[in-house]
Structure formats: structure tokens, C-alpha cells
Chains A and B, each alone.
Chain A
Amino acid sequence: KNEVEQSPQNLTAQEGEFITINCSYSVGISALHWLQQHPGGGIVSLFMLSSGKKKHGRLIATINIQEKHSSLHITASHPRDSAVYICAVGGTGNQFYFGTGTSLTVIP
């Protein structure tokens, strides 16, 4: 069993749609990270959160520590949002555990 599970694995949306990507984890964490990886590009850290909710532009990330679950929401999606979104949890030790990613395609 993976320490971090993401869903869906693949997601196609029409421009303007509201998008939700889910992440569940099974380990004790110090923090949860949402990362974005564009095709052929590097990885960018979008959010780091350990409780509650954070918002940056059209992106919103929430975490429920009791349920060991986090969601990444994208409002008014745009084709430039097309990327792989990766959930990563920093364990109570040194390791980071990664989900396998959600590949998002936003169609104009």
C-alpha cells in the first residue's frame, strides 16, 4: 500500500470548470505539499499546509488532519493549468512520500 494515494489519476476538464484533486495519506505527517509539474518542465511547489486551508489565486488547498485527507481545487480552470499535480507528505522523520500524481488536461 502506498503511503500517499491520489485521485483521480487522470482528469480532463473543459475550460472554466471547477476541478478537485484528492489526496489521502496513511503516515503521520509534519506537513503536506502540493506540487505542479508541467510536461518537460520542472516541479513547482504550490502549497505547504499542515492545517486548514490556503488560497493562492485560483488555487485552493485544504487539509483535514483527522481524516488524513487533502484536496486541491482549481477554480475557473484554464488550459495553462494543464500539468501533473503531485501530493507529497513530509513524514515525522526526514522522508517525503509522494503520490503518483494526477494528470490534468484542460481543454479550451
Chain B
Amino acid sequence: GAGVSQSPSNKVTEKGKDVELRCDPISGHTALYWYRQSLGQGLEFLIYFQGNSAPDKSGLPSDRFSAERTGGSVSTLTIQRTQQEDSAVYLCASTDAGRLRQFFGPGTRLTVL
């Protein structure tokens, strides 16, 4: 079946603008993660959704970052008033209820000029 998809694949924006990144997880997967991978850095956990539970936002770097997951499926990561240090690849992953194997999307490469 279809894997995790993300859109857009690339996003170039000006400093101070807001951006929205979208993730479509694998159908039926109850858990969804957002990660960030900055140039030359490892993966950084941002936020975790599990079913209808309150999300774990402990990885969000600032209050400019927010995410929501509608209907337990599609998720949107919003970055307000983007800064140059927000430039990174933003990855989404979903897992089944057992949190066994993570399936990653192709990522969105965000460049803030």
C-alpha cells in the first residue's frame, strides 16, 4: 500500500513568513511523529501523536512551532515567523499501535532565506 507522504517536498520562504508542512501517514497507523534534521545534524524529535491522546510536544523548539492532527490521520506542522535556523528537512513517520517499525516520509526540505 501507499507509504507516508509529505508535502511540499521543498519549500523556500522568507524570514518572518509562516509555513505549513503536511504529512499523510499510512492508513491505520495510530502513531505519528515529526522530526527535524538540520544540515550535518542528527534527527531531532519534535512532536508525537498517538490516537486521540494529547500530543507529546516536548520536542518543539519554540512556541513558533505547532502541529495538529485532524481525524487521527493527516498532520500539519506549522512554523510561524520562520527564522533562518529553522532551515532543515522536516520528516514525518508513522507506526502501528505497537510502535514497532517506523515508516518515514520523504521529508520536506525547508529553506528560510
Choose, from A58-66, A72-80, A95-103, the stretch at the interface: A95-103
Is A31 on the interface with B (CB-CB < 8 A)? yes
CB within 8 Å of A: which residues of B? Answer: 33, 35, 41-45, 48, 50, 56, 58-59, 91, 93, 99-107
* B99 adjacent to A90 (CB under 8 Å): yes
Shortest C-beta distance, B16 to chain A (Å), equals: 29
- CB-based A-B contact count at 8 angstroms: 53
User: When the two chains form the complex, which single residue of B35, B48, B58, B99 contacts A30, counting CB atoms closer than 8 Å?
Assistant: B99
Q: Specify the main secondary structure of chain A where it touches its partner.
A: strand
User: When the two chains form the complex, which single residue of B50, B102, B104, B105 contacts A94, counting CB atoms closer than 8 Å?
Assistant: B50
For the complex, give the distance between the alpha carbons of A90 and B102 in Å: 10
* B100 adjacent to A42 (CB under 8 Å): no
For chain A, the count of residues having a C-beta within 8 Å of the partner chain is 22
User: When the two chains form the complex, which single residue of B44, B99, B100, B101 contacts A98, counting CB atoms closer than 8 Å?
Assistant: B44
For the complex, give the distance between the alpha carbons of A94 and B54 in Å: 12
